[in-house]
Amino acid sequence: MSHIHLPDGILPVWLWASGFVVVILIWMILLRIMKKEELTRRLPLLGMMAAVMVLGASVEIVPIAYHVNLTVMSGILLGPSLIFLATFIVNVILALFGHGGITVIGLNTLMFSIEGALGYFLFHLFWRLLRSVSLAGFLATFLALTTSTFSMIGVVSLGTSHYEELIHQEERRGIIGFEFGREKEGHQKEGVPENVVNLKRFIAIILPLGFIGWVLEGVSTALIARYLHHLRPDLLRLDKEGR
Amino acid sequence: MIQLSYLDYIAVEGKSFFHRLSAKFKIIGMIFILFAIVAVRNLPGLFFLYLFLLCLYFMARIPIRIFPLTLYPLIFAFLFIFLSGFQLFFILLIFLKVLCGSTGVVLLLATTPYPSIFSVLGRVLPSSFVMALFLTYRSVFILLSVLEDTQHALYLRGGVKWRHPWRSLTNISNAFGHLIIKGIDASEKMYESMLLRGFKGEIHYRRE
């Protein structure tokens, strides 16, 4: 829910292309900052956590089109920089299964990364404040998912004029349209209702479904964090902050 | 995702003309399909593209058992019909774009083994990225085998029953926790065995 399950060809080119540009830039910066040996040493862990996220995404709760992401859990275990690399890999693999378009990989990576990185920082913040792994896990996940869902809505809303153009495409009888810039205004014909894109209705559908998902994922992250804290507390790296 | 192992099996074992085509050619074809999905904005055009992909799907003799994978993304596309004010044209446009994309991707994956795809990607993308992709792919199979054992344990602890949501959620979460711990242990072992085999930060693929 917190990422875009839009197919290819729906979002305007400038929007998804910007997503790719930002992701490539962040990827290049991270590769420069991180030591090569450190990255090489942690690559198997990154691959494993990415695989856990891929498996999590395959557990679908069909009535509400929701699946757990485990991005926050992975963010807690991998840290804010590695989670970015992991989410990129996850989105490539998910796109290869038609789970979101290939062109929206960049934007989805940004959404997932916001979720993972924010989850990491919030988890540590709430742990310091509450001293409860379960509560910290739940609150961090809930807030991170809320934020990323709103950023997803923001991204979808950026393409409003493009969706309207697509809807009115029928009247224009064009075979191929490919615009790199923002879409031109005033293309509606007479008799065709303007502003047919109803973002409010979209938000009204997404938010209640999302809320169920945030709670479900929050609870499952809390329970997973509790489980890890019992069996392998070293993985959560809370030692420095006191247990 | 359990279908992944089956998909991999038919990609390796398939004998159709499509399986024999080079991975590079198929990836270029997929890029053209993507370009068409982005650029074509009329229903007949997308419909013919979908029909063409369906023909390729059956000509490639991909088992029908895999076909539902191409329909799976429709679940999510359904949410976006609320955006359009239920305009039939927009709904059909979205659905056809979804179907073209997913059918193209399944066609590629069911006829091309992953290592061949990674090998082609390795020529144009950074090695660390391709290596991470490969390790993730490998890890999915490791986790799937762990998951099989975990499913038995989950069943013995009451499994997943909608009548007992809290217990089910706890069981699922513990299963994922177990999967993570096993996965991390396996990743450490994998790294050590890679080092023993002379791994120096790069995986080399056979160019075939």
Residue A34 has pLDDT above 70, yes or no: yes
Contacts of A34 in chain B (CB under 8 A): none
Q: Is residue B139 part of a domain?
A: yes
Residue A177 has pLDDT above 50, yes or no: no
**Are B166 and B77 within one domain?**
no
- Taking the CB of residue B100, how many other CB atoms lie within 10 A of it? 27
Residue A198 has pLDDT above 50, yes or no: yes
Alpha helices, DSSP H, located in chain A = 13-33, 36-57, 71-78, 80-95, 105-130, 133-158, 160-172, 199-231, 233-236
Task: Note the Cα B195 to chain centre separation in Å.
Answer: 29
**Are B99 and B12 within one domain?**
yes
Cβ–Cβ < 8 Å for A132, A95: no
Q: Is residue A130 part of a domain?
A: yes
What share of residues in chain B are helix, strand, coil (percent, to 5)?
Answer: 80, 0, 20
Q: A9 — alpha (psi -120 to 50), left (phi > 0) or beta?
A: left
What's the Cα-to-Cα distance from A206 to each of A46, A230, B80, rounded to whole Å?
Answer: 30, 35, 10
**Are B40 and B93 within one domain?**
yes
pLDDT at A182: 44
B126 Cβ neighbours under 8 A, 6+ residues apart:
A27, A31
pLDDT at A180: 43
Residue B107 has pLDDT above 60, yes or no: yes
pLDDT at A136: 95
CATH code assigned at A138: 1.10.1760.20
Question: Does A224 contact B176 at a Cβ distance shorter than 8 Å?
Answer: yes
CB of A176 within 8 Å of a chain B CB? The answer is yes
**Are B95 and B150 within one domain?**
no
Residue where the block lists tokens 């993985």: A235
Cβ–Cβ < 8 Å for B146, B184: no
pLDDT-based confidence at residue B38 (cuts at 50, 70, 90): confident
Burial class (CB in 10 A: 0-12, 13-18, 19+), B27: middle
CB of A8 within 8 Å of a chain B CB? The answer is yes
Question: DSSP state, B40?
Answer: B
User: Closest chain B residue to A93 measured between Cα atoms?
Assistant: B133
Q: For A49-94, what is each residue's pLDDT tens digit?
A: 999 888 887 766 555 556 677 899 999 999 888 899 899 999 888 8
Question: Does B97 contact A44 at a Cβ distance shorter than 8 Å?
Answer: no
Domain count, chain A: 1
Taking residues A219-236, report their average pLDDT: 90
Taking residues B6-35, report their average pLDDT: 88
B64, B85, B112: which is the final residue of a domain? B112
Question: Does A54 contact B140 at a Cβ distance shorter than 8 Å?
Answer: yes
pLDDT at A196: 65
pLDDT at A242: 52
Quote the CA–CA distance of A170 and B100 in Å, as a whole number.
19
Q: For B122-165, what is each residue's pLDDT tens digit?
A: 788 887 888 888 888 888 888 888 888 887 877 777 777 777 77
Q: What is the pTM of this model?
A: 0.82
**Are B43 and B98 within one domain?**
yes
Q: For B58-85, what is each residue's pLDDT tens digit?
A: 999 999 888 888 887 777 777 777 776 6
Q: Is residue A3 part of a domain?
A: no
**Are B7 and B55 within one domain?**
yes
Nearest to A55 by CA among B149, B139, B97: B139
User: How large is the angle between the packed helices B127-156 and B3-13, nearest 10 degrees?
Assistant: 130
CB of A24 within 8 Å of a chain B CB? The answer is no
pLDDT: which is higher, A159 or A53? A53
Q: For A116-142, what is each residue's pLDDT tens digit?
A: 999 999 999 999 999 999 999 999 999
pLDDT at A170: 60
**Are B130 and B105 within one domain?**
no
Interface test with A, best of B27, B34, B38 (most A CBs within 10 A): B38
pLDDT at A100: 73
- A99/chain B closest Cα distance in angstroms: 6
Contacts of B143 in chain A (CB under 8 A): 48, 51-52, 55
B84, B112, B140: which is the final residue of a domain? B112
Indicate the residue of A9, A27, A57 with minimum beta-carbon distance to B37.
A9
Q: Is residue B202 part of a domain?
A: no
Of chain A, the end-to-end C-alpha distance in Å amounts to 33
Residue A179 has pLDDT above 50, yes or no: no
Residue A6 has pLDDT above 80, yes or no: no
Give the pair of three-digit tokens for residue A181.
Answer: 């810039």
pLDDT at A175: 45
Q: Is residue A185 part of a domain?
A: no
**Are B81 and B105 within one domain?**
yes
**Are B10 and B103 within one domain?**
yes
Residue numbers of the domain that contains B152: 123-196
Coil, helix or strand at residue A66: strand
Residue numbers of the domain that contains A155: 13-171+195-241
User: Closest chain A residue to B104 measured between Cα atoms?
Assistant: A98
Residue A178 has pLDDT above 70, yes or no: no
Contacts of A13 in chain B (CB under 8 A): 38
Q: Is residue A212 part of a domain?
A: yes
Q: Is residue B206 part of a domain?
A: no
Residue A2 has pLDDT above 80, yes or no: no
**Are B11 and B103 within one domain?**
yes
DSSP assignment of A119-169: HHHHHHHHHHHH--HHHHHHHHHHHHHHHHHHHHHHHHHHTHHHHHHHHHH
Nearest to A72 by CA among A241, A216, A239: A216
- B176/chain A closest Cα distance in angstroms: 7
**Are B139 and B191 within one domain?**
yes
CB of A125 within 8 Å of a chain B CB? The answer is no
Burial class (CB in 10 A: 0-12, 13-18, 19+), A234: exposed
Domain count, chain B: 2
